[in-house]
Amino acid sequence: MTGTLITVAPTGAEVDKAEVPALPVTLDELVDTAKRCEQAGASIIHVHLRDDDARPTLDPVRLRDAVAALRDTTDLIVQLSTGGSVRDGEAARLAVLDAEPDMASCTMGTVNFGDDVFMNRWAFIAELHRRMQEKAVVPEYELFDLGHLPALERLLDKEGLPFGGHVHVDFVLGVPGGAAGDAATVTAFAEGVRRYLPEGTTFSATGIGRTTLPVMFASLAHGGHLRVGMEDTVSFARRQAVTGNDQLVERAAAAAALAQRPAISTVEARKLLRTRD
């Protein structure tokens, strides 16, 4: 079994900077957190950007600038979110790929998202997948519900394998409206990976809010990888706010080391995921 791939999702689109001052929202803050997280053991950064008022944005210039800045200052695999926020339209989400990241997220279906709906029509998913194949961008398929597993099987069957040929998925658990964030659910997803997806498919898992730790330990127990970050969790423990994304990456790296699967380097991660040179 290989070591552990650690993805950091430092910002997201939902957390309010006014309520969480440690949230990185400017380019300088993003670069600073990225460097610290790489040092702590992360190999992928899942990026959402904010505008000057700390609101989520898919502005193409900011996206290109962020990709360039992260490449200049770190060796992290840069994964842009095509999920954006629940208010972003399909055209802007597809245009994210023009910033030429190494990877991008690709959510495998529509899901209730708190009081909102995170819309992912089949035609949109297929178009996103085709564009990633054309642009040599490796997808991370985001699975919020068990039905997203057979949906991905169908996508691969109809549209072919992703760029590079390796399939990597991420279980996003504990979203109100999606699958629960507990060990039994991670087990169900891990079994679903074996049932529906090609041999050799790798998975990571993240649990929102207080589901972070059970999901982390269950993923390690199943040979899975980890995603952590302030997009998903802003409290480190009961009544203890997260001080920075590196704190979450350090804890994930320590758990991975205890599980005898230490964090892998960015070089190893690139080889595993077959991102372009």
Q: Interface residues with ligand KMH (CB under 6 A)?
A: 12-14, 81-83, 85-86, 105, 107, 113, 118, 142
Q: How far is the CB of 228 from ligand KMH (least distance, A)?
A: 14
Residue 4 binds: one of Zn ion, ligand KMH, none (C-beta under 5 to 8 A by kind): none
In DSSP terms, 227 is beta-bridged to 7
Q: How far is the CB of 216 from ligand KMH (least distance, A)?
A: 18
Polymer length of the chain: 277
**Nearest residue to the partner ligand KMH, using Cβ:** 83
Q: Quickly tell me which residue has 């770190």 as its tokens.
A: 74
Q: Which of residues 55-114 bind Zn ion (CB under 5 A)?
A: 81
Residue in 137, 123, 240, 228 with CA at minimum distance from that of residue 181: 228
Q: How far is the CB of 29 from Zn ion (least distance, A)?
A: 17
Residue 85 binds: one of ligand KMH, Zn ion, none (C-beta under 5 to 8 A by kind): ligand KMH
Q: Which of 131/261 has CB closer to ligand KMH?
A: 131
Q: Which of 81/204 has CB closer to Zn ion?
A: 81
Q: How far is the CB of 142 from Zn ion (least distance, A)?
A: 7
- Rounded CA-CA distance 24/49 in Å is 9
Q: Which of 248/259 has CB closer to ligand KMH?
A: 248
Residue 204 binds: one of Zn ion, ligand KMH, none (C-beta under 5 to 8 A by kind): none
Q: How far is the CB of 80 from ligand KMH (least distance, A)?
A: 9
CA atoms within 13 A on the CB side of 183: 7
Q: Which of 111/264 has CB closer to ligand KMH?
A: 111
43 binds Zn ion (CB under 5 A): no
Q: Quickly tell me which residue has 């690139």 as its tokens.
A: 270
Q: Which of 4/85 has CB closer to Zn ion?
A: 85
Q: Which of 89/160 has CB closer to Zn ion?
A: 89
Q: Which of 53/199 has CB closer to ligand KMH?
A: 53
Burial of 268 (0-12, 13-18, 19+ CB in 10 A): middle
Q: How far is the CB of 262 from Zn ion (least distance, A)?
A: 25
Q: How far is the CB of 177 from Zn ion (least distance, A)?
A: 15
Q: Which residues bind Zn ion (CB under 5 A)?
A: 81
